[in-house]
Structure 1
Amino acid sequence: MSNLDTTAALAFVAVLATASLLALTARSVWRSETVSTPAEWALAGRRFGTVTTWFLLGGTIYTAYTFAAVPALVSSAGALGFFALPYTIIVYPLAFWLLPRLWREARDMGAVTVADVVRIRYDSAGLALAVALTGILATMPYVALQVVGVRSVLAALGAYPEGITGDAILAAVFAVLAVATYRSGLRAPALISFVKGALLFVGVAVVTVLVLRRLDGPAAMFDRIEHRAAGDQAHVDFLALDPSLAMAYLTLAVGSALALLMYPHLLTAAFAAKSEGVLRVNAVALLAWTALLGAFAVLGLAAYAWGAGGGGEATVLEMVEQTTPSWFTGIFFGSLAVGALVPAAVMSVAAAMLFTRNVYAEYVNRRCTPEQQTGVARFVSLLVKVGALGFVILLAEQDAINLQLLGGVWMLQVFPAVALGLLTRWLQAPALFAGWAAGMLTGTYLVTRGGFAAVVEVAGVQVYAALAALVVNIAVAVLVNAAALRLAPTRGLLRHRRVR
């Protein structure tokens, strides 16, 4: 949409205004005597039921950038772009096992962050610091990508002029959410996640029907794809996965699923549930969000058949603008913008609490009260959003994408400390720390040596760099632990203690 359409713009603003007003009322919807403690501000007192958790987890996992990037990848790479679907299917059986157990451990310990869990489980501030810093480093570019997603929507709407005016508009979109999150913590994104879910499920259903109708149905769409691919040597196998990429596809899906479960924003949303049962139900019900992502991926195929020329995230936005009335375009674009605000808010809460609990309270001010911790976390959550805005405004979009790619590799390296401890306590903190360091170095080297490539060649096989690094991580941890046990075979059992 090259020029600003007034009707679309008004509808877009109406959606954002509604979401913003709801976010500001979050404290009155979920009443509490105080939000001044870390558990109340960051986890809403662990009171969210099945429906709220479904909207919050879905709205947190499935970001606006994902909904734009997946169809863009499918429209350019074809079958390979569908890796996001098996990855978001594989993740839920793992979540069914992992999340309830981590939730119970966190509740029993009085832990607010996953680094708290590691701190108490292994009685190791150093290992907890490693987990916390990894989470913060991986989260920051992820927040920046949500800003990128909103900017793409504004540009498609014709509401992102060049220079400081466009940057001011982008900042204004996040301003109300920043204030609401500062006041209400996790309650603010939880409330607007209802708006995101409702609008996206309805919107993508309507857009898919209209686009397929314009293409004369699914069969005609695939005929167009085959005809176009036949004339383009680069896309001749557009609908088929190259057999040589099978291992890359498999490791990318499995590694991404494992890494997703380690992200602080997902675990923060999960820790806010009121029971283990809520998380088990959601581990099944969240597959509906994967179906939604699948519909967006189909729109990527439609964009290729259509011949949409916007490129990147603009492919689907261009089709929406051409196939729907202006008012609907504004609403749909508004739902995508809200789709970025929800995960950005949860990520800022998660990163702020990791810093406050596991860096500030552990190393800077050991005597800070719960109220002081919440105050610090509120301030840091604002800094996270401002930092993400500054990153997007001052640096290239590709920088955020590259760092987010590295973030996924880094997050997988905390898997042994976070997840394997639920199965066995044989691995001790020093060994886990050594494994984490080895995995971080290996993963960073593998990704950056080829110019930020997620899939790398190892022993002649194309694999996901994060999974290769995890293998090194676990191998080093096992070797170090075995050596330590030979030197000191009597080690005593770890005891749990509560944290503030």
Structure 2
Amino acid sequence: MIDNLNWTATIVFVFFFALVTVIGFMASHWKAGDLNQLHEWGLGGRRFGPWITWFLLGGDLYTAYTVIAIPALVYAIGAYGFFAVPYTILIYPFLYLTMPRLWAVSRKHGYLTAGDFVFGRYGDKGLELAVALTGILATMPYIALQLVGMEKVIQALGFHGEGYLAHLPLTIAFIILALYTYSSGLRAPAMIAFVKDIMIYIFIIAAVIIIPIQLGGFGVIFDAAGKVYEAKVAADPKLQAGLILTAPQIGPYVTLAIGSAMALFMYPHALTGTLAASSGQAIRRNTMTLPAYSFVLGLIALLGIMAHAAGVKVTNPQDAVPQLLLKVFPDWFAGFSFAAIAIGALVPAAVMSIGAANTFTRNVWKPFVNPQVTSLGESTIAKLVSLIVKVGALAFIFFVPTKFAVDLQLLGGVWMVQIFPAMILGLYTRWYSGPALLVGWAVGMILGTSLSWGAAAWISVHGLAWDIPLIGKFDLGLGFAAYNGFTAVIVNFLVATILSAVWKSKAPDQTQAADYEDEAAAA
């Protein structure tokens, strides 16, 4: 089990893991509040200023699986893997315009979740439940993939076991995570995010300086990677791979970037990090500075190309980054880098479990199970659900093939973008009706899921061409393929718009126009 353990790297790894564990438990005393209140446990009392919010959102959105999966995709097929960079750039101007409005109305009415806002705006419990269940459904495999990222670096340390023992270190790590999340709530990942982000920056900056020096410069790196991709295409002409996008990849690349940007801040954990801010102005400042993470993400993606130049050969592309780090760095710094990646799993996993717990408590338990639940009861339910969510994610790793978790996470974006019309349109107008948005959501969910159902596995894109039997073989092909979530949300929006024109709802709107303006906007 530990015969091949890299002890130097492991000692460094354990040291930093122990450090963030102590920080996690200490966090309950930071910005002290009554953790028996859900807004204190689940949103940090909405007291996180620009600096804390910057680290929290960065730690929340740029995860361990990002560090593993994005370079893995680049390692496998090249330029297409860089789609994550433009989508994280596209999102911030959009957030600048929308999220301060959501923060303002949520602060005014005590909303903690997307479901709270949707019900307050449209007065439709069915739409509230749809939004809540979509968020919880999409979050579970996302947490599981944080475990995948952590397990990859644990295996790279040399730890290997048989059966359940193979997951022993991961289980211990998540028990610790569960305990300090239960104890400290959102304050724990907020504090740990400081350590995580600093470590990630050190590791990435060192990598993009030291590795090119060792390999002879970026020219040599790109030449070597280009030859690998050419060999892959020669061996399998159907494969789309290379240092630049091929023509068939352009449509999926563009629509995947746009659709992913639309979906990202619909996730419960992203909204949790946003609503925890102390003001709308804190959110605006962050949207202007968070693109620094997009720059780092571009550097992270380059690791997939560097792995080819370094001669890394792996059957599973997800092993490319760990093996690259072991090959080019001394053991102690490889241990430091692995710790950064593992801690990069803890922060988002904690926020994801808290976001899912907030959502279940406020939008499933309270309205449909126990409407008379007290504030103490809400926080108790949320804490218990945060534990259950983590256990469920761990069960994915124990009992479900990793590929299935990856497939479900790909579907997560397709599902989450379907609440975009209800959330974003609602920030600006009440013209849309709750029942119409609910039907649009259902159509989008069904269409997006069916488009993703491939013959052998879930697929993320489809060709924009359909045959209409009534008039013969009539091709509506638009000449390119598109991201399933993007196509489905367009149909969702059209259905909701058409139905809202004829299906008006008399449900009350809890909000007023002035509720959406925070102090900075009003000034």
Report the TM-score, using the length of structure 2 for normalisation: 0.91
Distance 1:87 1:366 in 2: 39
3-state SS of the aligned residue for 2:317? coil
**Match of residue 62 from structure 1:** 62
Distance 1:236 1:228 in 2: 13
State the Cα distance separating 1:139 from its structure 2 match.
0.3
Distance 1:297 1:2 in 2: 32
Distance 2:358 2:405 in 1: 22
State the Cα distance separating 1:230 from its structure 2 match.
4.3
Are 1:250 and 2:254 counterparts?
yes
Distance 1:493 1:38 in 2: 26
Q: 2:301 aligns with which of 281, 297, 318?
A: 297
Moved more, 456-465 or 145-154: 456-465
Distance 1:237 1:360 in 2: 47
3-state SS of the aligned residue for 1:401? helix
Is this contact kept in 1: 2:77–2:241, CA < 8 A? Answer: no
State the Cα distance separating 1:325 from its structure 2 match.
1.2
**Match of residue 466 from structure 1:** 485
**Match of residue 338 from structure 1:** 343
Is this contact kept in 2: 1:211–1:319, CA < 8 A? Answer: no
**Match of residue 430 from structure 2:** 425
**Match of residue 244 from structure 2:** 240
Cα distance change of structure 1 residues 47 and 474 upon mapping to structure 2, 3 Å threshold: same
Distance 1:304 1:435 in 2: 45
Distance 1:290 1:160 in 2: 34
Cα distance change of structure 1 residues 163 and 449 upon mapping to structure 2, 3 Å threshold: closer
**Match of residue 373 from structure 1:** 378
Is this contact kept in 2: 1:230–1:236, CA < 8 A? Answer: no
State the Cα distance separating 1:493 from its structure 2 match.
6.6
- Superimposed CA distance per residue, residues 319-362 of structure 1 (whole angstroms, 9 cap, x where no aligned partner): 11011111111111011000000000000000011111111111
Moved more, 338-347 or 1-10: 1-10
Distance 1:204 1:2 in 2: 30
Distance 1:318 1:156 in 2: 7
3-state SS of the aligned residue for 1:299? helix
Matched AA of 1:70: I
3-state SS of the aligned residue for 1:463? strand
Distance 2:99 2:160 in 1: 40
3-state SS of the aligned residue for 1:30? coil
Cα distance change of structure 1 residues 157 and 271 upon mapping to structure 2, 3 Å threshold: same
Q: 1:443 aligns with which of 432, 439, 448?
A: 448
State the Cα distance separating 1:288 from its structure 2 match.
1.1
- Superimposed CA distance per residue, residues 121-153 of structure 1 (whole angstroms, 9 cap, x where no aligned partner): 111221111100000000001011011111111
State the Cα distance separating 1:215 from its structure 2 match.
0.9
Matched AA of 1:245: Q
- Superimposed CA distance per residue, residues 160-207 of structure 1 (whole angstroms, 9 cap, x where no aligned partner): 422222222111011111111101110011111111101000011112
Is this contact kept in 2: 1:135–1:264, CA < 8 A? Answer: yes
- Superimposed CA distance per residue, residues 52-95 of structure 1 (whole angstroms, 9 cap, x where no aligned partner): 11110000001100111111111111111111111111111111
**Match of residue 473 from structure 2:** none
**Match of residue 461 from structure 2:** 455
Q: 1:322 aligns with which of 327, 331, 336?
A: 327
Matched AA of 1:495: Q
Distance 2:445 2:325 in 1: 41
Is this contact kept in 1: 2:220–2:309, CA < 8 A? Answer: no
**What is the total number of aligned residue pairs between the two structures?**
493
Matched AA of 1:300: G
**Match of residue 196 from structure 1:** 196
Cα distance change of structure 1 residues 2 and 285 upon mapping to structure 2, 3 Å threshold: farther
Distance 1:160 1:175 in 2: 20
Q: 1:347 aligns with which of 334, 337, 352?
A: 352
**Match of residue 496 from structure 1:** 511
Are 1:280 and 2:284 counterparts?
yes
3-state SS of the aligned residue for 1:313? helix
- Superimposed CA distance per residue, residues 293-336 of structure 1 (whole angstroms, 9 cap, x where no aligned partner): 11111111111222311232211111110111111111110110
Is this contact kept in 1: 2:100–2:280, CA < 8 A? Answer: yes
Distance 1:186 1:444 in 2: 32
Distance 2:45 2:407 in 1: 35
Matched AA of 1:325: P
Report the TM-score, using the length of structure 1 for normalisation: 0.95
CA RMSD of aligned residues (A): 1.7
Distance 1:413 1:381 in 2: 24
3-state SS of the aligned residue for 1:391? helix
**Match of residue 357 from structure 1:** 362
- Superimposed CA distance per residue, residues 452-474 of structure 1 (whole angstroms, 9 cap, x where no aligned partner): 11011122330000011101111
State the Cα distance separating 1:2 from its structure 2 match.
9.1
Q: Structure 2: where are the runs of 5+ without partners?
A: 466-476, 516-523
Moved more, 209-218 or 391-400: 209-218
Are 1:312 and 2:317 counterparts?
yes
Are 1:483 and 2:483 counterparts?
no
Distance 2:225 2:3 in 1: 27
Moved more, 308-317 or 44-53: 308-317
Matched AA of 1:387: G
> What aligned pairs does 1:108-147 form with structure 2 within 5 A after superposition?
108-147=108-147
Is this contact kept in 2: 1:303–1:316, CA < 8 A? Answer: yes
3-state SS of the aligned residue for 1:131? helix
Cα distance change of structure 1 residues 229 and 248 upon mapping to structure 2, 3 Å threshold: closer
Distance 1:283 1:444 in 2: 31
Is this contact kept in 1: 2:123–2:508, CA < 8 A? Answer: no
Distance 1:230 1:436 in 2: 42
Cα distance change of structure 1 residues 222 and 359 upon mapping to structure 2, 3 Å threshold: same
Percent identity of paired positions between Structure 1 and Structure 2: 44
Distance 1:346 1:212 in 2: 35
- Superimposed CA distance per residue, residues 95-120 of structure 1 (whole angstroms, 9 cap, x where no aligned partner): 11111111111111111111101111
Cα distance change of structure 1 residues 321 and 436 upon mapping to structure 2, 3 Å threshold: same
